[in-house]
Structure 1
Amino acid sequence: MSNPRPAVIGADVPRVEGIDKVTGHVTFVDNIEPPGMLHGMIRRSQVPHGRIRRIDTSRARQLSGVYAVLTGEDLLRMDIDPYIGPAFKDQAPLAIGKVRYAGDPVAAVAAVDRDTAEEALDLIDVEVEELPAVFDVQDALRPDAPLVCERLVPAGTFADLIELLGGGDVPATSNACFQYKLRRGDVAEGLRRSDRVFEHTFSNPPTQHSDLEYHCSIAQWEASNRLQVWTATQSPSYVRIMLANMFRLPESRVRVRVPYLGGGFGSKLYMKLEPLAALLALVAGRPVKIRLTRNEEFFTITKHGLVAKLTTGVTRDGRLLARDCQIMWDTGAYADIGPRVTHKSGYTSAGPYQIPNVRIDSFSVYTNKPPAGAFRGFGIMQVCWAYESQMDIIAREMGWDPVEFRLKNVLREGDVQATGTVVHSLGLDQCVRAVADAVAWDYREASAPHPTGDGARHLVRGKGVACSMKAVITPSVSAATVLVHSDGSASVLSSSVEMGQGSDTALCQIVAEELGARLQDVAIVHPDTDVTPYDLITAGSRTTFHMGNAVRMAAIDARSQLWPTAAELLDAAPDDLTAQDGRVWARTASDRSLTHGQIMMARFGGRAGTIEGHGLFETHHGSTDLDTGQSDRVTAHWMCGATAAEVEVDTDTGQVRIVNLATAVDVGNAINPFACRQQIGGASVQGTGPALLEEMLFEAGQLTNPSFVDYKIPSFLDLPDRLQPLTVEDPHPDGPYGAKGIGEAGIFAIAPAIANAVADAVGARIPSLPITPEKVLRAIAPP
């Protein structure tokens, strides 16, 4: 006992679900089929904006094998609240009165199989009177633009969006459904005092989440008017609350269960298919499953497109003096979580820098395109693309090294961020230095000659760097329960969703550490709102920090109930006990030990028993001022990362090859270093897609590439020649063992780092994503 193995925390351990996943023994929602289950399918609008004049479902209802047919008008005749949405209640499961985008659901059927359901959809006649539509976010803000949404009803979901609290049903006066304002210092005076002022506009299009698992939900009504739902969601607790509200039920009569997810990246936040599945099941009197196709995924939720106009003033000695940011977010036809993206990313859109004078106007704007929601980074990818592209332009034109320019201005411990919140535990400067070293940054001036690749005149190479930061979701609540069973094994009851990020493993490690149990003796109970306690959402890199703290508290609570019995058996004080690898002993008498099972047997006198430990972790925030956006505590902590890229550009074809891609993330203290590197590497590769390949293409509101045949995502052929996921450790005092969330920070700076490397190679800037070969050739030799 005197030489125990290293602690579980900080160890490279394999994923607890890894073997089952690779051998096909895990369950996803689509694997579940309750007895008598029907299949639901959706009829969608063919026009981007129009009044619904008639929907004739008579032929569909008469088709053999069809058990339910629904339209928006049917919802108005039911005893439900038909409107849903996390920010505004602006969307019904089926369009009521008018359609807002090509792909808007207008009718749904439930039938014995998918073939019958699809046949029924073809028998539904839909007549829509087309209305003027708007597809460009800047056009949508014009005074004469057609209104996409005619009334705004705040949902009241988010305590931090004080702009939406207390508001009622009001007529919309423009397509800007939400605005976040930040004012710090005097921007006009700061720009006047600057030695040089730079103005640029950057844009990126809507893109897809491209998670491999399709959206899928199963609903079943049971005795006593009780609703059970199996669903692919990142927010089971929220879904239960919203379904209860919609069907006017107590939450105790709604059960939401979530098995493993095949990826989410924000696409499976809040409600998507659950209400419609429940409605069809209610009408049909049988369980109903709705599973989307890949084509339908493109019409369900997207990543926000953005237009950012930045005006920045700098001094001769390389200090940022003022920045004005006009940010326009394309939230599509329904707000979804757009206002929160607008708010959260809005207040960091000036970048992770010390800037005394900042003005930010961030708008969430309706257009007649598919709705946009959360995406990995919650908008930081888009704003980082803008401000880090401009940082390189400034460095190049002023003759400064891009790395040194950033290090001169980057926020550090004790600095005040633009919101007025003091920065703590932010290892951003270490991240920048780490990635610069990883690509052998030579700190050359921006105007130095560009080295060529492979000695070929048409192959040129360049290097670029970028960095960013993000606030963790605040305020937030996570609860957990840890059960110690009669044999000493433990179960973790958590509503955090395992979707490939490795959270199950991290939470099991925390319990094993606190109890001194073997990792293989700790198991996770997946989200089931009848069993697992409340958790806000699985998003925003919050699971390790928030749920990790709650689980640790629950494990400590369980240990405090177990240790008195162990102390009595070992003739020691509880504070003198230590445990590891499933055995407990006294530090003063390490020659004698007990297993957790032996202690449990003694605790319950030979009878089977269970110890329950409970943990509740909450974070609090200071509300942002409506006029200035200022807050003394806008977030519980910041997360950050940096990326450096080396690329090779073929000036004959415009093709970009990533030679070296290094990304460093401040992980606080790594609970599982190997899993951290996996997260950072995965985020890095995912970020190359929007940088070089991904774009949803529209013609008059019609999406022209809704499949992976025409919508390109990175393949193995697109991987960087060298991929370097790096960790920086600046422990946070409030994190479990100093840990921070890392799921997003690895993707923030990928696109601007690659863009800056391309500009370094070819000497020309591309202000819009993706950086396609066609754009590269036009930049090199403009017409």
Structure 2
Amino acid sequence: MTTERPPLNRLGKGLRRLEAVDKVTGRVDYTHHVALPGMLHAKIVRSHVAHGRLVGIDTADAKAVPGVYGVFTGADILRIIPEPYYGPAFHDQPILAIDKVRYVGEPVAVVVAESPHVAEDAAGLVQAEIDELPAVFDEIEAMHADVYVHDSLRPAGTFADLKHLNGIRDTNVALTFGVKKGNVEEAFKTAHRVFRNTFKTQQVMHVPLEPMVSVADVRSGHATLYTASQTPSFARTEIARLLGWRENQVKVKTAFLGGGFGCKLYVKLEPLAVALSMLCRRPVRVALTMAEQFYTITRHPTTFNIESAVDRSGRILARRCEVIWNGGAYADIGPRVTQKSGFTAPGPYDIEHVDVTSVAVYTNRPPAGAFRGFGIPQLVWAYESQADIIAREMGLDPVEFRLRNVLADGKRHATGTVMKDAAIPLVLNRLAERFGWNQPFEHGSGRYRRGRGIGVGIKACVSPTTSVAAVSVAADGSCSVQCNTVDMGQGSDTLMAMIVSEVLGVPAESVSVVNPDTDASPYDMATLGSRSTFHMGHAVRLAAEDAQAKLVAMAREVGVDQVDPGDLGTLFVRKFGMQAGTIIGTGIYKPTYQSPDKATGQSEDITPNWMIGGTAIEVEVDTETGMYTILRMENVVDCGTALNPLVVQTQISGAALMQLGTVTLEEMEFDEQGQLRNAGLSEYKIPGIQDIPRAIGRETVDAYQANGPFGGKGVGESATFGVASALAAAIEDAVGVRITQLPIRPEKIWEGMRARQEQHA
């Protein structure tokens, strides 16, 4: 992809994360370190029933425990917050259960004590009486069941792209979103072949190694909230709304996060912490254990029914997609996942006739919301798996089949948006080159068989969203950045310092990035969806350019011809007669966006950019046991210009390996009553050093995002896309077994091999 690219002085060169030394030496402060005078500790009491009427809660024994300050229920919350319901899409989730519980693990009461250990012991003495109701756990059953998780819904109306939500009665459907293009029915009638498949994904958890934590201190009509959150701006807005206060009565502070991956978005513990501080009139800390996170937010399980019509040459003529998202008991941001990811269900392909239905469904499982990839990995798993099935059935090479159908710049996506700066063919070709796809490949003939697979996916950057930043130049010439983008390990602080460095010419190491504080840091919608490089990168660039313009104006005022980045302090001395004063530049960025048509889902401007990523995998399978070893994994992405290549490389590997865990090991396992069997890292396995591929390759293609800051765009999710389908294809290439339900475990392969043997016996 060739575009005129301005030269870069500091960006585009690798820079180690500015906080790296402090992190590895233990000097970085996390929210878990916050300790306030008089602080109390809370422990949550959770429902043991998946669905039921809350009859009563016996707190007497818990209150009698020495050191317990109080035991609180939904009735206590109602005394101070008349409408204690929150959520970014629907105001459907109570701070503590009121009248009804909707999943096993839902908070029904909380014990507050001087010590977390006392609180935990006392919490075990609280008894909740619940009249059990029929429950529904499967997303397909929930669509048609007469068991309703919610009696009615109240749309939140917070975000512009979710203002179309309606409250629906007598259904478990929270949102249905569709994309219609061309005439699918006619195309299916004239097709050479029609392929119909169903693919399923499981419920998994984010597993950040820093569990969720919030500390609230409410006094004199002001609330200060210290929280491990990816969305400090939203947290302030939502807490102010719940309390009926002005935003400037609520301060939200966060620090570095020990991982987030979507689970620390919007509000989770913050409303409870604030309510408890109001009830106790003291600071209160609410900190989850690793196990408790499994009852708080998860990734959507999905069922994806996909039908594709293909002509004799292998061109995809039409595609019908039905994606059912199991949102659990509360919507969280599930409706946005349903819409924003749903419209990419046809995949990165140029298909003339498309019919997509994407449905968010309530069930009596723990809530599901944003997870690294924002629904795209579930979709790519299905459409890329079917791509391999089609190619195999029609005798086509998998890479050639994809290249024959892939969207290129200038083509219209299924939504009607013209593809721009989307290097899908480049990613595919480079992935095949790195993997030696056209070279002879030895599958083996003995007990161990080898295979290979490839997959590619696309993701639209979330829109419309707004980012605001400020860049301050102090009187000695040093600089600082104020923004509410949260660094949770992705290296955003370092990148923002590099952008200031690029504009002002100062060393990035001399630029400090202030931890988010809503009293001092301007608004940012959220740190999610790989939007920070693009959105906040633009805002910081604009703020730095504004500061530069003001420095130039100051220079002219004091008779200096040229601003010297290495001696900015001289300007301030000339202006003020001493080391005094501050220059503050501000920047606001909000990309253009056109809401999709309600009837067809069509939009000329559905996203400001596309993230593209592909994976190729070589696997060895033991035909006697189904055990498999990933010998090699190659990952190639389009992130435009890699603004900090050093961090980009680690982001690619990290994203691919995290996704590999959800593909090979991870699954939340429930019994028939909705009880989770494997909460916590002792039972829920994530990849260890012995579980990763022997060889991992990574590369960014030579691409340029013309509307991005200095040609860049996000990368944190791109390498998650193709992992699942590439592994499934490699296994089928090795032993002829096609897996259609995640995770891919050896027993499924073994069962598939036995079934094939019986068919050929």
Which residue among 264, 268, 274 is the counterpart of 2:264?
268
Partner of 2:50: 48
Partner of 1:666: 638
For residues 185-334 of structure 1, the aligned pairs below 5 Å read 185-223=182-220, 225-334=221-330
**2:443 is the alignment partner of 1:451:** yes
1:510-566 Cα offsets, whole Å, 9 max, x none, are 001111101221000010000000000000101110000000111111111112444
Q: Residues 314, 69 of structure 1: CA spacing in aligned structure 2 closer, same or farther, 3 A cutoff?
A: same
1:597-642 Cα offsets, whole Å, 9 max, x none, are 2223223222411110101111131111111111111111111111
Report SS of the residue matched to 2:355.
strand
Q: Is the 8 A contact 1:471 1:639 kept in 2?
A: yes
**2:637 is the alignment partner of 1:637:** no
In 1: Cα distance, 2:466 partner to 2:103 partner: 35
**2:708 is the alignment partner of 1:735:** yes
Aligned-residue offset at 1:568: 7.0
**2:690 is the alignment partner of 1:717:** yes
Question: What amino acid is aligned across from residue 725 of structure 1 in structure 2?
Answer: R
In 2: Cα distance, 1:24 partner to 1:538 partner: 24
1:181-237 Cα offsets, whole Å, 9 max, x none, are 1111011011111110000000011001011110000000133x1000000110000
Q: Is the 8 A contact 1:72 1:94 kept in 2?
A: yes
Aligned-residue offset at 1:243: 0.1
Report SS of the residue matched to 1:781.
helix
For residues 109-188 of structure 1, the aligned pairs below 5 Å read 109-142=111-144, 144-164=145-165, 167=166, 170=167, 172-188=169-185
Q: Residues 683, 171 of structure 1: CA spacing in aligned structure 2 closer, same or farther, 3 A cutoff?
A: closer
**2:757 is the alignment partner of 1:768:** no
**2:528 is the alignment partner of 1:532:** no
For residues 553-572 of structure 1, the aligned pairs below 5 Å read 553-566=542-555, 572=561
Q: Where does the alignment leave 5 or more consecutive residues of structure 1 unmatched?
A: 584-594
Partner of 2:3: none
Q: Residues 304, 6 of structure 1: CA spacing in aligned structure 2 closer, same or farther, 3 A cutoff?
A: closer
1:107-142 Cα offsets, whole Å, 9 max, x none, are 012110112111221222210011111111111112
Q: Is the 8 A contact 1:60 1:121 kept in 2?
A: yes
Report SS of the residue matched to 1:152.
coil
Partner of 1:590: none
Question: What amino acid is aligned across from residue 25 of structure 2 in structure 1?
Answer: T
In 2: Cα distance, 1:703 partner to 1:9 partner: 47
Report SS of the residue matched to 1:271.
coil
In 1: Cα distance, 2:52 partner to 2:153 partner: 19
Report SS of the residue matched to 1:505.
helix
In 1: Cα distance, 2:575 partner to 2:560 partner: 15
Which residue among 13, 16, 19 is the counterpart of 2:15?
13
Report SS of the residue matched to 1:361.
strand
1:29-67 Cα offsets, whole Å, 9 max, x none, are 110101111101100001111111111223323333222
Q: Is the 8 A contact 1:691 1:755 kept in 2?
A: no
Q: Is the 8 A contact 2:318 2:352 kept in 1?
A: yes
Q: Is the 8 A contact 1:94 1:106 kept in 2?
A: yes
Question: What amino acid is aligned across from residue 501 of structure 1 in structure 2?
Answer: Q
Per mean C-alpha deviation after superposition, the further-off stretch among 652-661 and 351-360 is 652-661
Q: Is the 8 A contact 2:476 2:579 kept in 1?
A: no
Partner of 1:473: 462
In 2: Cα distance, 1:416 partner to 1:380 partner: 19
Identity %: 46
Which residue among 16, 31, 34 is the counterpart of 1:32?
34
Partner of 2:412: 416
Partner of 2:751: 778
Aligned-residue offset at 1:465: 0.6
Q: Is the 8 A contact 2:8 2:502 kept in 1?
A: no
Question: What amino acid is aligned across from residue 323 of structure 1 in structure 2?
Answer: R
Report SS of the residue matched to 1:630.
coil
Question: What amino acid is aligned across from residue 739 of structure 1 in structure 2?
Answer: G
Report SS of the residue matched to 2:720.
coil
Which residue among 719, 728, 735 is the counterpart of 1:755?
728
Aligned-residue offset at 1:709: 1.8
In 2: Cα distance, 1:661 partner to 1:80 partner: 54
Question: What amino acid is aligned across from residue 191 of structure 1 in structure 2?
Answer: F
Which residue among 657, 668, 672 is the counterpart of 1:696?
668
Report SS of the residue matched to 2:418.
coil
In 2: Cα distance, 1:432 partner to 1:742 partner: 17
Q: Residues 309, 745 of structure 1: CA spacing in aligned structure 2 closer, same or farther, 3 A cutoff?
A: same
For residues 646-685 of structure 1, the aligned pairs below 5 Å read 646-685=618-657
In 1: Cα distance, 2:233 partner to 2:560 partner: 44
1:446-490 Cα offsets, whole Å, 9 max, x none, are xxx9612xxx71111111111111111110100000000111110
Report SS of the residue matched to 1:256.
strand
Q: Is the 8 A contact 1:68 1:283 kept in 2?
A: no
In 1: Cα distance, 2:187 partner to 2:39 partner: 65
**RMSD in angstroms over aligned alpha carbons?**
1.5
In 2: Cα distance, 1:641 partner to 1:520 partner: 31
Q: TM-score, normalised by structure 1?
A: 0.94
**2:499 is the alignment partner of 1:498:** no
In 2: Cα distance, 1:677 partner to 1:84 partner: 38
Partner of 2:598: 626
Aligned-residue offset at 1:712: 1.2
Q: Residues 729, 17 of structure 1: CA spacing in aligned structure 2 closer, same or farther, 3 A cutoff?
A: same
Report SS of the residue matched to 1:709.
coil
**2:82 is the alignment partner of 1:101:** no
Report SS of the residue matched to 1:347.
helix
Aligned-residue offset at 1:571: 5.4
In 2: Cα distance, 1:475 partner to 1:314 partner: 35
Partner of 2:427: 431
Q: Where does the alignment leave 5 or more consecutive residues of structure 2 unmatched?
A: 1-6
State how many pairs are aligned: 749
Q: Is the 8 A contact 2:138 2:363 kept in 1?
A: yes
